[in-house]
Amino acid sequence: MQRLRSLIISQPMEVHEMHTKNVGTPVQRLEDDRLLRGKGRYVDDIDLPDQLAIMFVRSSEAHAFIRSVDCDQARALAGVIGVYQLKDFGPLAAKPMILANPSPLIRQPITQYMLALDEVCYVGQAIAVVVAENRYIAEDAAQLVVVDYEPLPVVMDARKAAMANAHLVHQNSTDNLAATLPWKFGDIDQAFTKAPHIFKESYYQHRGVVHSMECRGVIAQHDAQLDQLTVWTSTQSPFLVRRFLAQFLEREEVAIRVIAPDVGGGFGPKAAHYPEELVATLLAIKLKRPIKWIEDRLEHFLTTTQQRDQWWDVEVACESDGHVLGMRAVCTHDNGAYLPYGLLLCMTSVAPFPGSYAIGAIDIRLDCMFTNAVPTTPIRGAGRPNATFVIERTMDTIARELKLDRIKVRQRNFVQKEQFPYLTGAKLPNGIGIQYDSGDYARCLDMVLEASQYSQLEIRCKEAAQKGVYRGIGIASYNEDSGLPPYEGATVKVLPSGKVFVELGSCSQGQGLETIVAQITADQFGLHASDILVKLGDTIASAMALSTVGSRVASTAGPSVFLAAQAVRQKAFKLAAEHFNVSENEVHIDAGILFLKSMPDQKISLADLAKKLVAGVMVNVPQGFSPGLESTAYHTTERAVYANGSNVAEVEVDIHTGEVTLLNYWVAHDCGTVINPALVNGQIIGGVVHAIGNALFEHMKFDQDTGQPITTNLGEYLLPLATEMPKIHITHMESPSPLNPLGVKGAGEGGTIPGIACVISAIEDALKPFNVKINEYPLSPERLLCLIEEAKIRAVA
């Protein structure tokens, strides 16, 4: 922690003694009191006077031309205000949605219309919208709309979509290739030429759904007199939603206010921009009444963006001791019917290479394909779990084929502590080289091995095998580019009452952002976190923001809060020093009171200092000071900060039923400075559970001939239950990042990214007696039994 201390002391303001310490302690979440008492305020809790409800008429076909839409019966239903198609919104709406994250690599920048124009390309695509006095009437009326389709051929498999004679996902396209992403560095030909060993494997990673507890929702209200549009939406990105609304509606951003109230889970898909937000806002303007839409669970299955259908063909070149010389791969990525999020998911599937390892040459090509399925965007970890699965399974392949210890293969290839900061050789599209800022990957692996008593685990597995019980141990390591650039702003101000107020445009989806912001701020004023007022997720905030995604807010907004609070503190100390007629280093603060340590009775409160700086008409602000005891700050950076960790899983496999039981799970995790250990633990545990769901349960299936989704309820699409979860043991390592003044790195996705590879590794280890090789997920009991049977047949042959 000495490194962190030197970082903080290097700031302009001298650190003075305080009795209260918040950062680094498990402060109870400030949000919990109101949330547990049912006082949360989610989009569906908001009802405005004269509000109308809307319901969408969605395509029942995966691919078809729309011959006609008959809305007469729906319009005749009592309580229906109107039924609208795209043509009813005029020329402003007669264009595709804004492409988020544009890239010159995109060959076909196809986004959907807010309501289908003449062609639908996935089941669930919105065709028309019903407006009614309440949701019940709107749902009934939507069922009365009759759509006449001309069915078209569907393409559901991205590999088939890539074939020269494939059916077209979009009839006006030349082919189904949206983009090709190259990711390469080093001399890959030399690596493979000199390698004594080359191994090839293929991997399949499934398509899944996010399933936040709260589905999406939006309310739009237009004040015609002020020409002001206000939108409440369950989003991770209020500032980006405002940006896209402004561009699409051809309005100034200042005429649009977007608010993210309490959000019941985001995990990535709520960072995207959706047609429903556009439809609701245009209807609010058109009808001069507030418009509300709340997604139901079926709509969530059909329309909220999904993730993770990828096929990988991988080759690795290595030496006899397991040292990796190079990797090359081709990935076929299913992006669904449109590009709502650009190539961000694709980029995060290749940019993690070479992972935690010092590999000299990488050559990857990712083909981003259109299919007639729901579009894909990032879900917890984005493409990083995909890349980590490939990397970690490759390390296991090397160990298996060369009969080496899995741990030693990893240790031999790790980026070593003395190599930090480590440039991988790869470059981002903006030309900036990938650089790992800090860490000790080998030590983190050692920590999880020690915590799990790995040698005893091996003994337990051998003893179980003697009894005919199949137990296995999984290992996986990872690193993650968290704290993505460039900024999240923060404003800190002392109100005339003396209360310290923090305002961020960034929003929370349950991570405890309000709490950590309060902890960071409180330490600058000798206060408890509960003394700080925090406001999040509103574009009316004075500081700009981008998005709560990619484990980035703690290490972007957090340092901004720190810098703003530090500036306010410095201003308060300067004003107090003038008040006492002493030097600043004689002033101390505790509990919001500034005083002289040599004369404790000489004191002044933050409230009194704030009032001095508010001043009044003909009452001047003290000379040399700007008005207000406040500051807005932006911690800006051009590089990510790299969290890392290693996991160990212990599983038992019933070879007769295919059931997998997770017995124990250990995590060693390094997210730099830990602001709140309790919150970090919660994020890691949640991430591990997410990974277990991906590995064993969650699979969004489609009929390959018709494109109809098959798993559209929670009885068919399985989520992990508490009864199926192991005890999760967590150990922290802190290697503070030198790239921000708090030394923090991201923690929200660290449990998910290595978790899938770790669980699959453990299952494969349990089935070593059968020589089962597992290069896919999810592993249902049926699929696992098939793999065992296939291995038995190979053994006989």
Task: Please write the tens of the pLDDT for every residue from 328-381.
Answer: 999 999 999 999 999 999 999 999 999 999 999 999 999 999 999 999 999 999
Of the candidates 87, 91, 97, the residue with the CA atom closest to the CA atom of residue 129: 87
Q: Which of 605, 633, 661 is the last residue of a domain?
A: 633
> Which residue, 633, 664, 680, sits at the end of a domain?
633
Tell me, yes or no, whether 405 and 508 share the same domain.
no
521 shares its domain with 421: no
Same domain, 388 and 522: no
Say if 327 falls within a structural domain: yes
Give the H/E segment covering residue 91. Answer: none
| Cα–Cα nearest to 326, from 424, 205, 444 | 424
Q: How many CB atoms lie within 10 A of CB 174?
A: 9
Are 206 and 335 within one domain? yes
Query: Is residue 8 very low, low, confident or very high in pLDDT (cuts 50, 70, 90)?
Result: very low
What number is the average pLDDT over the span 702-713?
Answer: 98
Nearest to 152 by CA among 135, 170, 134: 170
Tens digits of residue pLDDT in 619-630 = 889 999 999 999
Distance, in Å, from the CA atom of 177 to the CA atom of 163, rounded to the nearest integer, reads 10
User: Taking residues 2-27, what's their average pLDDT?
Assistant: 52
Question: Is it the case that residue 5 has pLDDT exceeding 60?
Answer: no
pLDDT tens for each residue of 373-407: 999 999 999 999 999 999 999 999 999 999 999 99
pLDDT of residue 117: 97
In the prediction, which pLDDT does 617 show?
85
Average of per-residue pLDDT across 207-219: 97
- Predicted local confidence at residue 20, as pLDDT: 66
**Are 106 and 429 in contact, with CB atoms under 8 Å apart?**
no
Same structural domain, 245 and 393: yes
Q: Specify whether 264 is located in the same domain as 407.
A: yes
Do 492 and 413 have their domain in common? Answer: no
Pair (214, 349) in one structural domain: yes
Separation of alpha carbons 234 and 266, rounded Å: 8
What's the pLDDT tens digit per position in 259-278?
999 999 999 999 999 999 99
Could you tell me if residue 662 is inside a domain?
A: no
| pLDDT (tens digit per residue) in 492-507 | 999 999 999 999 999 9
- Cβ contacts of 343 within 8 Å, gap of 6 or more: 101, 103, 105, 106, 179, 181, 368
Spatial CA neighbour of 139 closest among 287, 298, 290: 298
Q: Is residue 737 part of a domain?
A: no
658 in any annotated domain: no
Rounded mean pLDDT, 194-204: 98
Query: Is 505 inside any structural domain?
Result: yes
Whether residues 172 and 303 share a domain: the answer is yes
Structure tokens at 279: 């439809």
Average pLDDT over residues 243-248: 98
Residue 536 domain-assigned (yes or no): yes
Mean pLDDT (whole number) for 596-617: 93
Q: Would you state the pLDDT for residue 797? A: 77
The residue-averaged pLDDT of 556-584 equals 97
pLDDT band per the 50, 70, 90 thresholds, residue 308: confident
For helices 238-249 and 275-287, the axis angle rounded to 10 degrees is: 60
Asked if 739 and 435 count as a contact pair (C-beta separation under 8 A), the reply is no
Which of 744, 782, 774 has the alpha carbon at shortest distance from 555? Answer: 744
- How much of the chain, in percent, has pLDDT values that exceed 70? 97
CA distances from 117 to 85, 112, 381 (A): 9, 9, 34
User: Last residue of a domain, which of 425, 442, 476?
Assistant: 425
Average pLDDT over residues 694-700: 97
143-197 pLDDT per residue, tens: 999 999 999 999 999 999 999 999 999 999 999 999 999 999 999 999 999 999 9
Are 381 and 501 found together in one domain? Answer: no
Residue 219, sorted as left (phi over 0), alpha (psi -120 to 50) or beta, turns out to be: beta
Predicted pLDDT of residue 431 = 94
Numbers of helices and strands, H then E, in the chain: 20, 29
Measured CA to CA in angstroms, residue 619 lies from 468, 552, 611, 615 at distances of 86, 43, 11, 6
Predicted confidence band of residue 10 (pLDDT cuts 50, 70, 90):
very low
The CATH number that applies at residue 544 is 3.30.365.10
Mean pLDDT of the chain: 95
Q: Is 492 within 8 Å of 566 (Cβ atoms)?
A: no
In a domain, 619, yes or no: yes
Which residues are within 8 A (CB) of 20 and not within 5 positions of it... i.e. 6 or more apart? Answer: 522, 523, 526, 527, 528, 590, 591
Q: Are 461 and 747 in contact (CB under 8 A)?
A: no
> Where in the sequence is the domain holding 505, given as residue range(s)?
2-40+486-633
Residues 491, 412 share a domain: no
For residues 199 and 188, give the distance between their C-alpha atoms in angstroms, rounded to a whole number: 15
Q: Is residue 87 part of a domain?
A: no
For residues 500 and 614, membership in a common domain is answered with: yes
| Number of separate domains in the chain | 2
Q: State yes or no: pLDDT of 485 exceeds 60.
A: yes
